[in-house]
Structure 1
Amino acid sequence: MFKTALADLIKIFFEGEKEMKKTNVLVGLLACGVLLTACGSGGNTDGSGNASNGSDNSGIELGTVGEFPVVKEKISMTMMGPGTGMAEWKDMPVFQSMAEKTNIDLTFTTPPSADFATKLNLAFASGDLPDILFGTDTNSLTPAMEMDYGNQGILVPLEDLIQENMPNFSKILEENPDIAKSITTPDGHIYSLPMIHRGETAIWPRGPLWYNGEWLEALDVKELPKTTDEFYDLLVRFRDEDPNGNGKQDEIPLTDVKMDSTRPWLLAAFGLTDRSIEEIDGKVVYAPITENYKEFVTYMNKLYSEKLLDPEVYSQADEQKKAKGQNNQIGLFPDWFSFFTTGRTEKESVMDPMFYPLTSEINPDRISPASTRLGRATFAITSDNPSPAAALRWVDYFYSPEGNDFLSVGPEGAFWEYAENDKGEQVRVFTEGVDLDNTEESRAKVTPNYGITVPTMAFPDSKADFPPVIANANDEVDTTFNDFLAAETQEKIEPFAKVTFPLLYLTTEESDKVRDVATDLKTYVEQMEAKFITGVEPIENWDKYVQTIESMGVEDYVAIHQQAYDRWASTE
C-alpha cells in the first residue's frame, strides 16, 4: 500500500530544487484519500490495516500504536523539565498513572523554573542530558538551540517518527497545516512538539482591555467607542464627570504598567499590532519607523498630556494598578480578566465590557491583535533516548481530548472523583483534601500542567465528555462568566484578528545576523516610545529617531525576516 510520509511532504515543501512540484503532492494526497489516515498510520499492520505490535531499532518491543501499554516490558527513561516548586514530579499522580499505563518509568530532573534555562544550557554543554525534555519553551529551548543541537545529532528529528507513532498528533497536523510549517526548521526537520491552544480565549495575544462597567452605567454610555475620536471623548468624560461618584476628581481614565499590555490593542487602531517586525499583506515592515506608529505615539502623547493616560504609567507596578482598580479609580485597564484588577466577583465582572477595536484617520480597517495559538518547543527527545518511538507514543496521548483532560486535572481519585447527584447523573467533584478556596494549588500537586507550557492540545468541543470539576455533586455549573468571555471574544476579537508575524524559524546564519541588532533595536525603541508619549522627546524629533534606527541596520534586519517569511509562506 502506497504511503506518503509526513517527512517526505515536509522535505518537498522545504527543499529548493525538486522535480516534484506542490501540485503533484496534492494529486498524490487526493489519490491516497486523507493524509496519514487513508494512506496508513505507519508501523507494521495486520490484515485489517490496524497497527500491530513491533519493535523499534533498539529492539524494545512496542505495543499497538495508539494503545496502552506503550511497551511490552518495563523500561526506564530520564526526563528534565522546569519545576514550579509545588510538588516533585515523581510524586505527581499524572506521572505515576502514566507509568502504569505505558510501562515507562521516568526519573526526573526539575530545576526551578527561574533557573531552568541556565540549567538546560549547562546540560547541553556538559553532554549530561536526559532522554526527554518536557515543559520547555522557546526561552529555554530556543529556535537557535533546536537547529544547532539538531544538526549535531543531539536532538532527534521527529518527522518520520511522528507519522509512525503519533496518530493523535498526526491528525492535528492534517487538520491544521500551518502547525507543521511553524514547527519545521529550514532544514526540513521537526525537533520539538508544541502546546496548541484552542479554547475560547486562545486567540487572545495577552489580557484584553476592559471598560469599567459601573462608570459606563453612571455616564449612561449606550455604545462603546469605535473610532479614536470617540475613544478620546469618552476618556474626557471619565476624567471630568465623576463616574465613581465620590465627588472628587480622582478618576484615571486609562492605566497600564509601561504600556506593555495596552499597546497592542490601541496600536491596532493605527493599523499595527505590535512594536516589532510585522507582516502586512505579505510585506515585512519594522513597525516602529512607520507613519502609523508615529500617529500612535502622537495620539498617546495627547492622552498623556491631558491626564487621560495615567501619569504613573511608566513608574507603577502591577500591584499599584490593581490597588487603583479596587479603589474604583480606573475607567479602562488591561488584565486577563477584569476582576483581577477591580476585585469584583466573576459574576459581577460581566458588566465590564471588553474593548472594541478602533479605527483612525490613518487606518479605516478595524483590526485586533491575535495569538498564533501555538507554543513551540515543549517536548524534545535527545540522542541518548533508548526508544524515541516509545517516547513519542507516550506523549501522543496528551494530544487527544482524553489525554488533554488527563494532563489538566489528573487521573480519577487524585484531584477529582465521580459522585452521583440527585438526578442520578455521574458528575466530577473535588476529592477530599482539595482546598476549595485555592483549587489551583491542589491541582499543581497533581500535574506538571501548571505555570509552564506542556505538549498537549486543548479541545474546546470536548467539554461535554469532560465536564468541569465541581465542589458538590448537586452544584449547578454556572457558565455565565465563560459564556460572557466567549461572546465578547467572538464579537470584538475574532472578526478582526490579525497575527503580527507567523511563528517561523530563521536559519542559523540568519539568526547570527539579526541577534545583536534585534536587542539594540528593542532597547532603543522601548526607551524612545516612553519619551515620545511622556513628551520628554518632542515628536518633532521623529526624523532623527528614524535615522538612528536606520543606522542600526534595520534594513538588513527587515530583509532577513522577509526572506524567512517568504520561505514560510511558500510552503502553502
Structure 2
Amino acid sequence: MKSRNKVLLSIGIALFSTVLVACGNGGSKAQADGPKESSVKLNTEGQFPVIAEGEELSLSIMAPGMGLAEWKDMPTLQDYIEKTGIETTYITPPSADFQTKLNLAFASDDLTDIIYGAGSNSLTSAMEIDYGAQGILVALEDYITPELMPNFSKLVEDDPNLLKSITTPDGHIYSLPFVPRNGTSIWYQQPMWYNGEWLDNLDVKELPKTTDELYDLLVRFRDEDPNGNGQKDEIPLSDVEMNGTRLWLMGAFGIKVKGIQEDDGNVSYTPISEEYKGFLQYMNKLYTEGLLDKEVYSQSNDQKQSKGQKNQLGLFNDYYSFFTTGRSEKEAINDPLFQPLTSEFSPEAVIAGSPRISRGAFAITHKNPSVEASLRWLDFFYSVEGDLYLEQGPEGVLWENQKNKDGEEVRVYTDKVDLNDTENFRGSITPAYGLTTPNLVVDLPQIRKSADEEPDTSFMDWVIAETEEKMVPAAEVPFPLLYLTKEENDKVGTSATDLATYTEEMEAKFITGITSFDEWDKYVKTIESMGVEEYVATYQAAYDRWASN
C-alpha cells in the first residue's frame, strides 16, 4: 500500500516540528465544565459490541475528507456501527479546508463529540494545551487502563516514551496518537539509494562505510563512465536543496538533524558545531570537484527525477529508487540503500530515526456523551487485528476469503475492485487513507489478485531487510516528541524562524563557495546574537521535564 507508506514517511518528517503556533482565545467559546457523566453501560463480555444490549449511543465525528467517498457511505464505518452498536455521524470538510473549519468549530463551540484524523498540523500542540486547560478537550489519562483500553495500554507498556510524548506539561493527555510499527516506520525521511547498475559496471563489491570511501566512489562515478554511453554526463550525487542528502551525510559527522538535537541528555544547536562545519567543508569539496550536482539549489524534484530516468545519477534520494530511475520494482532491488557512514568526527555511524508516533489523531470534546464508550470504540484499532480491519475493511468489499490449491484461506480482491487502481477503491471504503488515523500500523498481508497467485512481496521484503540491516542499528531519535509550554513556545517561536532562514541561506553559501570558511566565526557570532543560547536553554528545560515524566 504505497500511498499509506508515503503518509507514514511524511509523518516521520513532520514529527520534530516542535515550534508551535500559539492558539488565541477569541470568538465565543464557552468555558467548558468537562465531559458529561455517561449513563451508557458498556458490554463487559468482550470487544464487541461496545455498549451493553439495549443501550443506545450516537457519536458525531469531525475529520478531514479525502474526497473519494462520503464517510457515511464507507462500508468499513457502516460495518463498524453494526459491530460496536454505536451510531456515528460525520462532518468531513475537504482536507485542504479542515484546519480552518476546525478552528471555527472551536471558536464557536460548535464541536462534534470526537475529532478524528486531524494530525498535529491541524490540532496543534498549542491547541491541545489551550483547549484542554479550558476543559473543551477532555483529559484522557485516567481512562487509559487495561480494562477500558487493553490494546493501547499494551502499546504504552511496551514503549513508555509513547505515553510521555502525548502528555502535556500540565500532566494531562488530550489526544491519542497514530502509532506506526511497520518495517519502515524508523525512517525519519525518504532514504538515499545507489544506482545499482553503475555499481555493477564498476564492479563495486562493497558499499562505502566512511566519508573518504564515499568520496572515492563518487570520483569513479564522475570519471569512469558508469552509465556506459561514452559521454561525461554522469552526476555522482544529486538532490533538491540538500533536503535528502543533508540528513544522511550529516550523520557521518555525528549530527542527526540541522537544529535542536539531544545527546545523552544534553541539548545543542547543531548548526554552530564543529561537526556541522566539517559536514559543510565535505559538501563544499564535493560541490567544487563536480561530485555534487551543480543544480542542487536550483532544480525541482521533477528535474532531478528526469536526470535519473536518463541514467545520469549515481546516488540520490527518493522514497523508492524507482521513483527517480523509472525502473521497475524488481529492477530497483539492485539499487542498494545507502550505508550510514563514519568519519574522523564520528567513529560510529548515526542517522536520524523517527520516534514512530504522531499526535493529534483522536481527541474527545466536552460535548461527548460517553468518553468510556468512545475510547472502547477506538481501542480496537490499536491492535493488529484492528489495523487489518481499518486498512482493508470488512469481508466482501475490498477482499473476500478464498481457498488456494493447498486448501488455505487467503484474501483475494473482489470483482468490485479495479485491479489497476486498488488504492483509490480502498480509499473509498475506509478512512485509513492519507490521514493521521488513530491506530497501530503494522506490515499486513497483501490481498491477492487470485487465490493461487502468490503476491509478489519481494521488493518490500527487500526494502525492510535493507532497513533492518543498515538503518535500524544506526538510527537515533534526534529530539523526543514533546510539548512546549505556552511560555516556552513564546520564547522560541520567532527565533526558530529566523534561525532556520539564516542557517539555510548560509549552508548554501558555504557549500557552493559563495562564502569562505574564513567567515565561520562571524557566522557563529551572528547566530549567537539571534538568541540561540536562550533557544537551546528552553529546549533543554522541555527535554528535562519530558525525561523526568
TM-score (norm 2): 0.91
Which of 84, 96, 99 does residue 102 from structure 1 map onto? 84
For 1:186, give the aligned amino acid: P
Letter in 2 for 1:228: T
1:65 CA drift (Å): 7.1
Deviation of the 1:172 alpha carbon? 1.3
Alpha-carbon distance, 1:148 to partner: 0.8
One of 506, 520, 538 as aligned partner of 1:542? 520
Match of residue 40, structure 2, among 60, 65, 69: 60
Contact 2:447 2:455 (8 Å CA) reproduced? no
The match for 2:535 is 557
Counterpart in 1 of 2:371?
A: 388
Alpha-carbon distance, 1:482 to partner: 2.3
* Code of the aligned partner of 2:493: R
Deviation at 1:216? 0.2
Corresponding letter in the other structure for 2:39: G
CA distance in 2 between partners of 1:103 and 1:313 (Å) = 56
Matches within 5 A, 1:333-412: 333-412=316-395
Of stretches 273-282 and 304-313 in structure 1, the one that deviates more from structure 2 is 304-313
Residues 63-72 or 117-126, more deviating: 63-72
Could you tell me how far 1:118 is from its partner in structure 2? 2.2
Corresponding residue to 1:418 among 390, 395, 401: 401
Question: Aligned-residue CA RMSD in angstroms?
Answer: 1.4
Q: Which residue matches 1:140? A: 122
Task: Tell me the distance in 2 between the aligned counterparts of 1:162 and 1:563.
Answer: 27
C-alpha distance in structure 1 between counterparts of 2:118 and 2:453, whole Å: 37
Q: Give the AA of the match of 2:448.
A: I
State yes or no: 1:281 paired with 2:264: yes
Unpaired runs of 5+ in structure 1?
A: 1-55
Deviations 1:33-58 (A, max 9, x none): xxxxxxxxxxxxxxxxxxxxxxx932
What secondary structure sits across from 2:333 in the alignment?
A: helix
Q: Contact 1:422–1:474 at 8 Å: present in 2 too?
A: yes
Q: Is the 8 A contact 2:40 2:56 kept in 1?
A: no
* Cα distance in 2, alignment partners of residues 511 and 478 from structure 1: 48
Answering whether residue 90 of structure 2 is matched by residue 118 of structure 1, we say no
Aligned AA for 1:548?
T
Which secondary structure state, in structure 2, belongs to the residue aligned with residue 295 of structure 1?
helix
SS in structure 2 at match of 1:310: coil
SS of the counterpart of 1:260?
coil
Match of 2:499 among 512, 515, 521: 521
Aligned length: 511
1:93 aligned to which of 75, 91, 112:
75
CA contact (8 A) 1:65 1:393 kept: no
Structure-2 residue corresponding to 1:292: 275
Question: Which of 215, 235, 239 is residue 198 of structure 2 equivalent to?
Answer: 215
Q: CA deviation at 1:286?
A: 0.4
Question: In 2, distance between residues paired with 1:532 and 1:372?
Answer: 31
Alignment partner of 1:451 is 2:434: yes
Q: Which residue does the alignment assign to 2:171?
A: 188
What SS is found at the alignment partner of 2:441?
Answer: coil
Q: Distance in 1 between matches of 2:304 and 2:46?
A: 49
Equivalent of residue 297 in structure 2, options 314, 339, 344? 314
Distance 1:358 1:317 in 2: 27
Q: CA deviation at 1:66?
A: 5.0
1:231-282 deviation line (CA, Å, top 9, x unaligned): 1111111111111111111111111111112211111011001111000121
Equivalent position to 2:479, from 501, 512, 532: 501
> In structure 2, the residue corresponding to 1:173 is in which secondary structure?
helix
1:199–1:459 Cα contact (<8 Å) kept: yes
Q: Which residue of 1 aligns with 2:29?
A: none
Contact 1:65 1:165 in 2 (8 A): no
2-structure distance, mates of 1:167, 1:136: 24
Runs of 4+ in 1 over 3 A off after TM superposition: none
Deviations 1:418-439 (A, max 9, x none): 1122222211011113122221
Q: Please tell me whether the aligned partners of residues 66 and 167 of structure 1 are also in contact (alpha carbons under 8 angstroms).
A: no
Structure 2 unpaired stretches of 5+: 1-35
Give per-residue Cα distances to partners, 1:175-194, cap 9 Å, x unaligned.
21111111111111111111
C-alpha offsets along residues 484-517 of structure 1, whole Å, 9 cap, x if unaligned?
1122112211111111001111112111211111
Which structure is richer in relative contact order (CA contacts within 8 A, separation 6 or more)? 2
Aligned amino acid, residue 98 of structure 2: F
Q: Which residue of structure 1 lines up, in the alignment, with residue 14 of structure 2? A: none
2:133 matches 1:155: no
In structure 1, give the amino acid aligned to 2:48: F
Is 2:511 the partner of 1:533? Answer: yes
Give the match for residue 477 of structure 1. Answer: 455
Q: Distance in 2 between matches of 1:315 and 1:87?
A: 39
Tell me whether 1:70 sits opposite 2:53 in the alignment.
Answer: no
* Whole-angstrom distance in 2 between the partners of 1:92 and 1:346: 31
Residue 30 (structure 2) aligns with: none
Q: Which residue of 2 aligns with 1:12?
A: none
Change (3 A) 1:85 1:102: same
CA deviations over 1:102-143 (Å, ceiling 9, x no partner): 122222122222222222122212211111111111111111
CA distance in 1, matches of 2:336, 2:417: 33
Mapped to 2, the partners of 1:126 and 1:527 lie a distance apart of 42
Residue identity opposite 1:559 in structure 2: A
Q: What percentage of aligned pairs have identical amino acids?
A: 61
- The equivalent of 1:52 in structure 2 is none
> C-alpha deviations, 1:429-488, integer Å up to 9, x for none?
11113122221111111111111111111245xx5xxx3201111111333222211221
Using the size of structure 1 for normalisation, the TM-score is: 0.87
Q: In 1, distance between residues paired with 2:266 and 2:184? A: 28
Partner of 1:492: 470
Q: Secondary structure of 2:456's partner?
A: coil
CA shift digits 1:385-432 (9 cap, x unpaired)? 111111111110101111110111111111111112222221101111
